[in-house]
Every structure is written in C-alpha cells, then in structure tokens.
Amino acid sequence: MQEEATLVRQLKEKKTRDQAFGILLDKYKEPLYWHIRRIVLNHDDADDVLQNTFVKVFFNIEQFQNKSKLYSWMYRIATNESIDFIKKRSRMRGVSNEEYISSVAKKLVADPYFNEDETAYKLQNAIAQLPEKQRIVFNMRYYDEMSYADIAKILNKSEGALKSSYHHAYHKIKNYFNEEN
C-alpha cells in the first residue's frame, strides 16, 4: 500500500509525473488491456479504449482521493470507457449494445489476435449473449479473479447484487453450452 501511495504522490507532482506514469503503464497496461478486451472483444478497439483510459488517468489523477485502491479507480475508468465505446459503436450502427457485442463475438474466429481454441470461442459467444452488467461482472470474477468486494468498489454496486449477477451469468452460460451439445 505504501508503494501505491508513493506512486500516486509522484503522479500528482509535476516534476515526477512522467516517470511515475511510465511505472503506472508498466504495471497496469496488460491487466487493463485484457479487462477492456473482454468487454469490447476486438483487439484494435481494446487498444483505442486503453489509450483513452490512460489519457483520462493522466489528466484526472488530481481527482484521485485515495478512497479506493488506484487499480480500482483505473478499472472503473476502463470499464466506463469500454461501455461508452460500445454505446457509440452500437448507436452508429443503429443496433442495441447486445446486438453489437454479439456481432463482434461472431467475428472472433477471423481476428488474428484471438488465438484460442473452439471452447474459448464458444465461451466468448456465450458471454456476449449476457446483459452488459452480467457480462462485465462475469469477466471480472472469472478472468480477472477479482473478489466481489473489489468488483463492488469498481462498479459501485453491492456485493449481493454482484453475486446475483454472476450467478445468473454462470447459469446462462451453462445453459448455452448445454444447448450447443
């Protein structure tokens, strides 16, 4: 925790900001990329959203008040940026967010950055069928292995609501696989 407090202090000081931001990038770039990628699904889109996330972090670090962990604050920004990205893309295409994500999921096989097996592809398609909240909670719990307490801080929801969302998502995914077989 001391290390994080030092990093935040350095990010807020003009003379140490650039170096501290480099450390921040090294530490959080990959986990945030994968968090975003699981929401928007496409590699190029995830890169764009990741860049926007770090721009927001850089320009808004002064508003960070140490009421949560730095990574929770950054995950919240990344999650909101991802959701906003999906909303913009779906509006541009005149479809719902769920229809947009479902169409992106169906194209994963052709994505050169998606080098997973058939089961992973089916799982991504099953996850894409979930409502947005369940999809995000499932990804954070299943892939990022976050505790409900951490997810609650990031999404500003109660742990009970998140457990319920995860439970419903799990059963919908299980049913999806049962119907496939």
What pLDDT sits at residue 123? 86
Cβ neighbours of residue 87 closer than 8 Å, sequence gap 6 or more: 97
- Burial environment of residue 57 by CB neighbours within 10 A (0 to 12, 13 to 18, 19 or more): buried
**Mind listing the pLDDT tens digit for each residue in 114-126?**
666 677 778 888 9
Domain assignment of residue 118, given as a range: 2-180
What CATH number corresponds to the domain at position 69? Answer: 1.10.1740.10
What is d(CA 78, CA 161) in angstroms, rounded to the nearest whole number? Answer: 21
pLDDT of residue 124: 86
| Counted domains in the chain | 1
Q: Which residues of the chain have pLDDT under 50?
A: none
